[in-house]
């Protein structure tokens, strides 16, 4: 039996899988720092401001709303709404320029649909924020199930969030592919839940050896390579 008969659903992570969220966040934060300096943030070096901001992002998490307020505090400044607003505007303007699907994503989703694959999303994060990304990416009509951790009450690498998705789609784990970039959440979670794990490798680099339970069934560099996994020659 050919493998394409076995795979009925393909589920995706969003960030760094459907679009380059790492570059988006870095460029948006760098431009925010530049705009804040232009409005009076007392720091000369953009890179130093960026490093300080990243410490705050790590401390408070990426979904925290007041990174720029904390940055001012860390620099010993009183709250300055002009500087904060300059950072917010630059961040969002930059975001809009970078929130585009990777070039092969839409053709691949269409091709998977043509092969009668059901498509879905399994992603950690706040549900409205993740839906905003799908809508800005122009991808929100492709998926029959969109499962976000905030709604699911479970987050990757836990199995439950994957089970919620496959139950909503009416498919079995062994006939479902999960494609994501992060072995520790995506790989481990998909493997534990019994799905076929596919790792999207962001860039060529030497990495530490992965634990066996994080190792993907397949590793690919572009989403379009999913098509050859479904149709092995």
* Residues that bind a second copy in the complex, under the rule CB under 8 A: 39, 81-82, 84-86, 88-89, 92, 96, 127-132, 134-136, 140, 146, 148, 150-151
Output the smallest distance, CB 65 to a second copy, in A: 10
Question: Across the chain, where does the E strand assignment appear?
Answer: 9-12, 118-123, 145-148, 176-180, 196-200, 218-220
- Give CA–CA dist 154/227, Å, rounded: 29
Question: Across 153-195, where does the E strand assignment appear?
Answer: 176-180
Contact 35, 60 (CB under 8 A): no
Specify the residue, 145 or 196, whose C-beta has the smaller distance to a second copy: 145
Specify the residue, 36 or 112, whose C-beta has the smaller distance to a second copy: 36
Specify the residue, 101 or 173, whose C-beta has the smaller distance to a second copy: 101
Helix or strand holding residue 29 (H, E): helix 21-38
Q: Which residues of 101-136 are buried (b: 16+ CB within 10 A; e: fewer)?
A: bbeebbebbeebeeeebbbbbbbbbeeeebbebbee
Specify the residue, 87 or 183, whose C-beta has the smaller distance to a second copy: 87
Q: How much is the CA Rg of the chain, to the nearest whole Å?
A: 20
Output the smallest distance, CB 134 to a second copy, in A: 8
3-state secondary structure of 63: coil
Q: Which residues fall within 8 angstroms of residue 157, CB to CB, at 6 or more apart?
A: 184, 185, 186, 188, 189, 192
Specify the residue, 93 or 167, whose C-beta has the smaller distance to a second copy: 93
Output the smallest distance, CB 33 to a second copy, in A: 15
Output the smallest distance, CB 86 to a second copy, in A: 6
Output the smallest distance, CB 74 to a second copy, in A: 18
Specify the residue, 133 or 156, whose C-beta has the smaller distance to a second copy: 133
Output the smallest distance, CB 85 to a second copy, in A: 3
């Amino acid at each position: 039996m050919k493998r394409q008969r076995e795979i009925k659903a393909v589920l995706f992570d969003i960030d760094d899988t459907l679009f380059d969220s790492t570059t988006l966040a870095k460029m948006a934060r760098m431009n925010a720092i530049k705009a804040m300096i232009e409005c009076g943030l007392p720091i000369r070096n953009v890179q130093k401001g960026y490093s300080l901001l990243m410490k705050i992002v790590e401390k408070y998490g990426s979904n925290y709303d007041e990174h720029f307020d904390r940055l001012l505090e860390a620099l010993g400044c009183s709250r300055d709404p002009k500087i904060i607003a300059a950072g917010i505007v630059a961040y969002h303007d930059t975001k809009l320029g970078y929130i585009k699907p990777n070039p092969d994503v839409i053709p691949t989703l269409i091709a998977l649909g043509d092969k009668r694959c059901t498509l879905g999303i399994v992603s950690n994060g706040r549900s409205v924020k993740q839906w905003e990304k799908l809508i800005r990416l122009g991808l929100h009509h492709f998926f029959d199930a969109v499962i976000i951790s905030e709604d699911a009450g479970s987050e990757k690498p836990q199995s439950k969030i994957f089970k919620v998705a496959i139950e909503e789609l009416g498919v079995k784990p062994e006939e479902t592919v999960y494609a994501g970039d992060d072995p520790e959440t995506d790989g481990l979670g998909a493997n534990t839940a019994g799905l076929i794990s596919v790792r999207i490798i962001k860039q060529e680099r030497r990495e530490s050896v992965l634990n066996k339970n994080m190792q993907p069934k397949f590793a690919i560099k572009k989403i379009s390579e999913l098509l050859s996994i479904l149709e092995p020659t």
